[in-house]
Amino acid sequence: MKHYIATPTRTKAILNKYKFTFKKSLGQNFLVDVNILQNIVHHAGVSSSSGVIEIGPGIGALTEQLAIHAEKVVAFEIDQRLLPVLQDTLHPYKNVEIIHEDILKADVKSAIEKHFHPGQEIRVVANLPYYITTPILMKLLEEKLPVKSITVMIQKEVAARMAAKPETKDYGSLSVAVQYYTESEVAMTVPRTVFMPPPNVDSAILHLQMRPSPPVHVKDEKLFFQLVRASFMQRRKTLMNNLKSYFKDVYDKQLLEDILKRAEIDGTRRGETLNLEEFASLANVLYEMTK
């Protein structure tokens, strides 16, 4: 077996060499199991012609496995202390580009245009820090990047929320957003014991296949997502009560009642019982009656 980065011995040696200390604020937990990394690459569908975007390469454990299988890897790393480490650990791989930037502030579209061939199949693969999973994924989805799929290792509970179906406790505005843009599946769960240091939670690998177009037609996306967020404001409240308190300064109660009636949705239901089609229909009626 090659002397891969993702073994406990090699990881410890790298951390000692650079006197690296983990920053809790950046959610740093490094994977020390090569099989799991190879599984991630496999579930991501990475091939020798793929271009890959990675977020938070750490000391390069996943980056290395991606570099072996993909044509090119572009990794965004926010922690300046890791740049010399990555230069060292990824030295054998000439198809890796490290960008020192916060992914939330980065112009990912421009990076894709700059580093990959026109029309190349691009996949996002990352072991995401738990504390910032949702903003990163929402940015990647909302910017409608030319990517084929997003495969991320994230907290198990968050993965469950993203893949949840209506009428379940995990179903919420995040589930609706993810399912609007992608087809999602939890590919596998990952125990906390394969990380250094071990996090307090188990992880899961979530695979999001981008849809060529959303499964429902929405006249105003911004309004659609606003309405979805409003419906889940307080899970125990009815749809009507949530909409009333969220839109209190914008629409009166009578108008909201008319909208629900016209969309044929019972206002005493809870947000978690509505599926994608019902949210779309409600948003479209709201759009027509208020524009």
pLDDT band at 24 (very low <50, low <70, confident <90, very high): low
Instruction: Examine the pLDDT at 22 and tell me if it is beyond 50.
Output: yes
Average pLDDT estimate for 5-11: 93
**Cβ contacts of 249 within 8 Å, gap of 6 or more:** none
Nearest residue to 76 (alpha-carbon basis) of 41, 50, 100, 111: 100
How confident is the model at residue 198, as a pLDDT?
A: 86
How confident is the model at residue 27, as a pLDDT?
A: 60
Instruction: Examine the pLDDT at 184 and tell me if it is beyond 90.
Output: yes
E strands in the chain: 30-31, 51-55, 72-77, 96-100, 122-127, 149-155, 182-190, 195-196, 203-210
Supply the mean pLDDT for the chain: 93
How confident is the model at residue 26, as a pLDDT?
A: 63
Whether residue 202 is annotated as binding a ligand: the answer is: no
Average pLDDT estimate for 264-274: 96
Whether residue 31 is annotated as binding a ligand: the answer is: yes
How confident is the model at residue 20, as a pLDDT?
A: 84
Instruction: Examine the pLDDT at 37 and tell me if it is beyond 90.
Output: yes
pLDDT band at 3 (very low <50, low <70, confident <90, very high): confident
User: Which pLDDT tens digit goes with each residue over 59-101?
Assistant: 999 999 999 999 999 999 999 999 999 999 999 999 999 999 9
Domain with CATH 1.10.8.100 in the chain: 221-290
How far apart CA 143 and CA 124 sit, in angstroms, is: 13
Whether residue 77 is annotated as binding a ligand: the answer is: yes
Average pLDDT estimate for 280-285: 97
Which CATH topology does 221-290 take?
A: Helicase, Ruva Protein; domain 3 (1.10.8)
How far apart CA 291 and CA 92 sit, in angstroms, is: 58
Average pLDDT estimate for 9-21: 91
Whether residue 252 is annotated as binding a ligand: the answer is: no
Q: Does domain 8-210 have CATH number 3.40.50.150?
A: yes
Percentage, residues of the chain above pLDDT 70: 97
Whether residue 145 is annotated as binding a ligand: the answer is: no
Instruction: Examine the pLDDT at 197 and tell me if it is beyond 90.
Output: no
